[in-house]
Amino acid sequence: MFDFSYRFQWAQAMRHLPRMLEGALVTLEIAILSLVVGIAIAVLLAVARDSKYIWLRAPATAWVEVARNTPALFQIYMAHFGLGSFGIYLSPYTALLAGIAFNNAGYLAETFRGALRAIPETQTRAGRSLGMGQAQTFRLIVMPQMFRVAFLPTTNQMVWAILMTSLGVTVGMATDLTGIVQNLNARTFRTFELFAIAAVLYYLIAKTVMLGAQLIAWRLFRY
């Protein structure tokens, strides 16, 4: 039963909005960086998984399997405490970024592989017959089409990446939105007000990123 004698004090929580917005910027920064890194690695993984060489296929498959079938929380925790036990110290920021990028790469690799399957083999052959090299064909003919096919599922992963940044608190992340809200909560005990504002901010960040992605898509994918 919720105790309705609790009075919401929004003004008390709103005083801290500037700090929360600073945190939102850090969250946005980590999400975007993790996507850029994730997409770059995912393209390599997608190609490697369909390679005829086992030494390319095996590590790529292992990466995708681990990234997709273990919790993101575990991946981030391992980047910080797991590597830490081998004397490799990633700061909370780096560990969070690495964990999410690792996760993004695993998921997006499969998305891209699916998209590659949707592009007819004749496209490659047409490119090659025009005198393009193998890499050139992939870069100029296949990859742009792959991104177009994979665009919508990729935006899913974008939103997911933003929400995953909130797992940073498990490795001592203090400067992102969740980290800052947690600190404010401890100081003021205005849990409900602060978390409600944070939820709205996460929604707005996700919407902003989606809008940005759509603008990029509109610029890139027109015929």
**Binding test (CB under 8 A) with another protein, winner from 23, 38, 92, 127:** 92
Q: Binding to another protein by residue 55, rule CB under 8 A?
A: no
Cα distance between residue 124 and residue 142, in whole Å:
7
- The three state secondary structure string of 196-223 is HHHHHHHHHHHHHHHHHHHHHHHHHCCC
Asked whether the beta carbons of 200 and 16 are under 8 A apart, the reply is no
The residue among 18 and 87 lying less far from another protein, judged by its C-beta, is: 87
Other residues' Cβ atoms within 10 Å of the Cβ of residue 121: 8
Q: Binding to another protein by residue 179, rule CB under 8 A?
A: yes
Stretch that binds another protein, among 30-38, 82-90, 111-119, 157-165 (CB under 8 A): 82-90
Q: Binding to another protein by residue 166, rule CB under 8 A?
A: no
Stretch that binds another protein, among 51-59, 76-84, 110-118, 156-164 (CB under 8 A): 76-84
Q: Binding to another protein by residue 170, rule CB under 8 A?
A: yes
Q: Binding to another protein by residue 172, rule CB under 8 A?
A: yes
Q: Binding to another protein by residue 11, rule CB under 8 A?
A: no
Residue 94 Cα distances to 43, 80, 89, 135, 208, angstroms: 22, 9, 9, 32, 24
Q: Binding to another protein by residue 3, rule CB under 8 A?
A: yes
Q: Binding to another protein by residue 69, rule CB under 8 A?
A: no
**Binding test (CB under 8 A) with another protein, winner from 124, 145, 155, 191:** 191
**Binding test (CB under 8 A) with another protein, winner from 16, 49, 113, 190:** 190
Residue 71 backbone zone (phi > 0: left; psi -120 to 50: alpha; other: beta): beta
Asked whether the beta carbons of 128 and 137 are under 8 A apart, the reply is yes
Residue 55 Cα distances to 43, 62, 113, 117, angstroms: 17, 11, 18, 22
**Binding test (CB under 8 A) with another protein, winner from 87, 131, 222, 223:** 87
The residue among 95 and 158 lying less far from another protein, judged by its C-beta, is: 95
Tokens of 91: 């700061």
Residue 30 Cα distances to 66, 100, 163, 173, 198, angstroms: 21, 9, 11, 12, 17
Give the residues lining the site for another protein (CB under 8 A): 1-3, 5-6, 9, 12, 80-81, 84-85, 87, 89, 91-92, 169-174, 179, 182-183, 185-192
